[in-house]
Amino acid sequence: MSTTPNKPAAAGKQSEKGFVYLPLIAGWLIPGSGHFLVGKWIRGTLLAVSIIAMFILGLAMQGKLYTGAQDILDILGVAGDLGSGLLYFIGRVMGLGAEPVKTTVADYGTKFIVVAGLLNIIAAVDAHNLRTGRKSS
């Protein structure tokens, strides 16, 4: 009978080599790339398509990219938008989402952009959990 503690096999194997936060950071910067780094190609592709499509649809609906932090809601909006990683910075550099919200659909677009960022954070943390072995497969 074995007396070794019951550890997840992947945890020991994966945490031994490489920078453990790489999937987390890569997944934040580029949606889905954290899963690509841990070898989950289909999941990464589905996550990338979902998050990038949501961000682009938000901009196409004339949604706003939050830029300043005038009040608490704007700060939360910036925090949500920043979750999209490079997508947010590219959008800012290209001057996208700069017009004020005038229609209901544009308000939906703004929410799409914020939620895309929040979903990307969830996806990046999931990639980190796969990397550390906290999530088994």
Partner 1 sequence: MIHPSHFAAVLLFALFASTVFGITMRDTPPRMLRYGAYCFILFIGSAIVLSWVMFLIAR
User: Is 62 or 132 the residue whose CB approaches partner 1 more closely?
Assistant: 62
- Cβ pair 19, 128 in contact under 8 A: no
Give Cα separations from 88 to 55, 68, 74, 135 (angstroms).
Answer: 9, 13, 15, 28
Dihedral (CA of 126, 131, 134, 137) sign: positive
Residues near partner 1, by CB under 8 A: 43, 46-47, 50-51, 53-54, 57, 60-62, 103-105, 108, 111-112, 115-116, 119, 122-123, 125-126, 135-137
- Closest separation between CB of residue 35 and partner 1, Å? 8
User: Is 48 or 66 the residue whose CB approaches partner 1 more closely?
Assistant: 48
User: Is 63 or 66 the residue whose CB approaches partner 1 more closely?
Assistant: 63
User: Is 2 or 104 the residue whose CB approaches partner 1 more closely?
Assistant: 104
- Closest separation between CB of residue 1 and partner 1, Å? 28
- Cβ pair 69, 103 in contact under 8 A: no
- Closest separation between CB of residue 22 and partner 1, Å? 18
- Grouping H, G, I as helix, E, B as strand and the rest as coil, residue 62 is coil
- Closest separation between CB of residue 70 and partner 1, Å? 26
**For residue 121, which of 66, 94, 84, 70 has the smallest C-alpha distance?**
84
